[in-house]
Amino acid sequence: MAILVIAEHDNTSIKAATLNAVSAAAKIGGELHLLVAGSACAEAAQAAARIAGVSKVLVADAAHYADQLPENLSALVVAQAAAYSHILAAATTSGKNFMPRVAALLDVAQVSEIIGVVAPDTFVRPIYAGNVVATVQSSDPIKVVTVRATAFEAAGEGGSAAVESLPAGPDLALARLVGRELTKSERPDLTAARVVIAGGRGLGNGENFHKLIEPLADKLGAAIGASRAAVDAGFVPNDYQVGQTGKIVAPQLYIAVGISGAIQHLAGMKDSKVIVAINKDAEAPIFQVADYGLVGDLFEVLPALLAELG
Amino acid sequence: MKILVPVKRVVDYNVKVRVKPDGSDVDLANVKMSMNPFDEIAVEQAVRLKEAGVASEVVVVSAGVANCQETLRTAMATGADRGILIQTDGELQPLAVARLLKAVCEKEQPQIVFCGKQAIDDDANQTGQMLAGLLNWPQATFVSKVAVAGDQATVTREIDSGLETVEVRLPAVLTADLRLNEPRYATLPNIMKAKKKPLETLTPAALGVDVTARLKTLKVAEPAKRTAGIKVADAADLVLKLKTEAKVI
């Protein structure tokens, strides 16, 4: 039986994390279909058809799928489920929202945020903030799985899948989107950036955060992240948070500035290739995972670093 | 309006868990247990809605071993009115918990079920969404702000790209994110008072729910550890090492 991956999109393009979910599906093996549910989403469907490895794109185009709210989206997925052995989506805030609803409606378990595929019914996933990894086997007829994007390569382009349209389900009218306040940034996406520079409570306030972190991010072409403490204190918006319950990142270079390194933060960044920690407290736990540690006052170190980078 | 808040007893968030030598499970012997932090936030919000005159009763429910009573008492010490324990010694996975909660909802008829967005032990992030699906109710997950008016809740959600506001028709399932509120501490007089609040004990069998696990844990392991690297002297040294040694800039 085939595998169905639910695409996350903005009706014109496919979100990057979906490409990682496609790679996870390819590891499971089998024919791969992608579902694009949206409104006036033909462009997103065309983009989906170009993803390597996808043999068919199913498109459900209706006004009540415009915002991909979980109630209508889940019902649509469930209506297609009987033809599939696996249903996958990226473990983004969207995937985490609708996929458990799909699983419950199918009366099957969900395997959350997998980081490895052992067999078509057996997956590896982190528990306890990533301090433990569990290998779990599903006995359900349909496997509903969310995928941690950083654990799988992004699928490439070059596919030419058939695009097939699906009849839309009824509008359940249980919920309505009022609006979205999206953070606008010219910088790379936090979860896909090659370099991430993240700030913590040590920066003291939002003004310092912007004044000291942003020029460095500009210099390095980096995305900006933050610890929970920095977000809670209002230095930066919620979508900057890296950690167990925020974003999971695994860049080539992660620079932690004024972040002590609570296990909940480490859970979100410890798979980075190279970790740099800058902190005035030599005993801070962040140094235990850092490849390069610099003990010092960040208010002196960061301007010096900027100067060194020329 | 009644609000139901499911609470889970989990390993305290400050504890670093260890894997049993045989790799069968994590070792929970003599480990400090607490209420799941996200559930504390959900309890706090329900109590605030009661204090604001929106809700009339806050009922907390927990599924698991007899000691989950402590978790329920903690919730009652911070303002919940009564507790329900669904007692069972076996492993409970999110789908089983959602099915138990559905049975409780059918009995209690709450207008809002306020869950924590995820438990910090299994990190599954499923139960609230599953419950909403089983009840065919709307859901709003990762909530950072909520306002209830009439038969509708207007909810701000934390999403990957910022914030989203949705209106859901009640009854609905909401799940609490970190920044919804800062939970209060239980005072000693309230802890004493909580001991006298009603606590009903049920079983999965009495609710007619099969809680058989669908996922089998084959093994658990500790991930490859990162080892601490080196300390660099200053910014110049750091840039040099990143350029010539790590070759990442």
Summarised one tens digit per residue, pLDDT across range A124-136 is 999 999 999 999 9
Chain B interface disruption, residue of A172, A228, A238, A283, most B CBs within 10 A:
A238
Whether the per-residue pLDDT at A310 is higher than 90: the answer is no
What the block records as the tokens of A89 is: 């989506």
Partners of B226 on chain A (C-beta within 8 Å) are: 270, 275, 288-289
In this structure, are strands A195-199 and A110-114 parallel, antiparallel, or unpaired? Answer: unpaired
Among A54-58, A116-120, B198-202, B225-229, name the one with the lowest average pLDDT. B225-229
CA distance B35 to A97: 23
Residues in chain A: 310
What one-character-per-residue DSSP string does chain A give?
Answer: -EEEEEPPB-SSSB-HHHHHHHHHHHHH-S-EEEEEEESS-HHHHHHHHTBTT--EEEEEE-GGGTT--HHHHHHHHHHHGGGEEEEEEE-SHHHHHHHHHHHHHTT--EEEEESEEEETTEEEEEEGGGTEEEEEEE-SSSEEEEE-GGGSPPP-B----EEEE--------SEEEEEEEEPP-SSPPTTT-SEEEEE-GGG-SHHHIIIIIHHHHHHHT-EEEE-HHHHHTTSS-GGGBBSTTSB----SEEEEES----HHHHHHHTT-SEEEEEES-TT-GGGGT-SEEEES-HHHHHHHHHHHT-
**Which pLDDT score, from 0 to 100, does residue A197 have?**
98
Element housing B178 (H / E): none
**Which pLDDT score, from 0 to 100, does residue A15 have?**
96
Chain A interface disruption, residue of B19, B238, B241, most A CBs within 10 A:
B238
In this structure, are strands B57-64 and B82-87 parallel, antiparallel, or unpaired? Answer: parallel
Q: A257: how many CB neighbours lie within 10 A of its CB?
A: 27
CATH of the domain at B146: 3.40.50.620
Element housing B198 (H / E): none
Our count of domains for chain B comes to: 1
Nearest CA to A143 among A177, A174, A175, A112? A112
Given a contact cutoff of 8 angstroms between Cβ atoms, the answer to whether A298 and A279 are in contact is: yes
What the block records as the tokens of B158 is: 């934390």
Whether the per-residue pLDDT at A83 is higher than 90: the answer is yes
Residue span of the structural domain in which B140 resides: 2-246
Tell me the average pLDDT across A283-304: 97
Nearest CB neighbour to A104, from listed B134, B179, B217? B134
In this structure, are strands B57-64 and B2-6 parallel, antiparallel, or unpaired? Answer: parallel
* Residue ranges in chain B whose pLDDT is less than 50: none
CA distance A252 to B14: 29
A211 — pLDDT class (breaks 50, 70, 90):
very high
Nearest CA to A273 among A287, A291, A295? A291
Partners of A136 on chain B (C-beta within 8 Å) are: 215-218
Element housing B98 (H / E): helix B94-108
**Which pLDDT score, from 0 to 100, does residue A184 have?**
87
| Tens digits of residue pLDDT in A145-182 | 999 999 999 999 999 999 999 999 999 999 999 999 99
A288 — pLDDT class (breaks 50, 70, 90):
very high
C-alpha Rg value of chain B to the nearest Å:
21
Mean per-residue pLDDT over chain A, rounded: 97
**Which pLDDT score, from 0 to 100, does residue B76 have?**
98
CB of A79 within 8 Å of a chain B CB? The answer is no
| Tens digits of residue pLDDT in B4-61 | 999 999 999 999 899 999 999 999 999 999 999 999 999 999 999 999 999 999 999 9
Nearest CA to B78 among B35, B114, B138, B121? B35
Partners of B224 on chain A (C-beta within 8 Å) are: none
Partner-chain contact B13 A288, CB within 8 Å: no
Nearest CB neighbour to A183, from listed B140, B162, B235? B162
Residue A30 Cα to chain centre, angstroms: 24
CB of A219 within 8 Å of a chain B CB? The answer is no
| A164: Cβ contacts below 8 Å, ≥ 6 apart | A56, A57, A58, A59
Given a contact cutoff of 8 angstroms between Cβ atoms, the answer to whether B159 and A98 are in contact is: no
CB of A158 within 8 Å of a chain B CB? The answer is no
Nearest CB neighbour to B239, from listed A133, A176, A308? A308
**Which pLDDT score, from 0 to 100, does residue A245 have?**
86
